[in-house]
Amino acid sequence: MARHRRWIVALGSLVALLLLPACREASSESTDGYEPAVLEPIDGTELSRVILTEDAAHRIRLETASVTSVGDRLTVPDSAIWIDESGETWVYTEVEPLVFVRAAIRVDRYEDGIAVLSEGPPAGTIVATVGVAELIGVESGL
């Protein structure tokens, strides 16, 4: 079941990534230099901060949720999870309002739309649950 969900997430991410360049071309022609998101490298890491404008967050219908703790396990909605091409799992954490940084996680199992983590950000951390594909696109330069 977990393998099946990974393929669904990966396929959804791939479709979104393939569609994003067309969206960017259309918007760049008509917005006169408007940048809905900025990518800011984090010194000493391979990570970057994805900074959205309020308009961009509204357009992608950004939604977030908190990492929760159930016993000794952390949980997030499975919609928050991104599985990259090498099989690594990630979430986008909101480090400031409209500022997101990718964080590595380890999924133990999936249960009814919830991912139970064996490793991840601490309980209370805010993660993106809708708009994840767009955050990936910004960070990937698509």
Only one residue has tokens 């991104």, namely: 82
17-46: average pLDDT: 67
112-117: average pLDDT: 96
- Judged against a pLDDT cut of 50, whether residue 91 lies above it is answered with yes
Q: What is the pTM of this model?
A: 0.75
Residue ranges of E strands in the chain: 37-41, 48-52, 63-66, 68-70, 73-77, 82-83, 89-96, 99-111, 114-119, 126-130
- For the chain, what is the domain count? 1
Give residue 134's domain range.
Answer: 2-140
- Looking up residue 122, the CATH number of its domain turns out to be 2.40.420.20
What pLDDT shows up at residue 13? 52
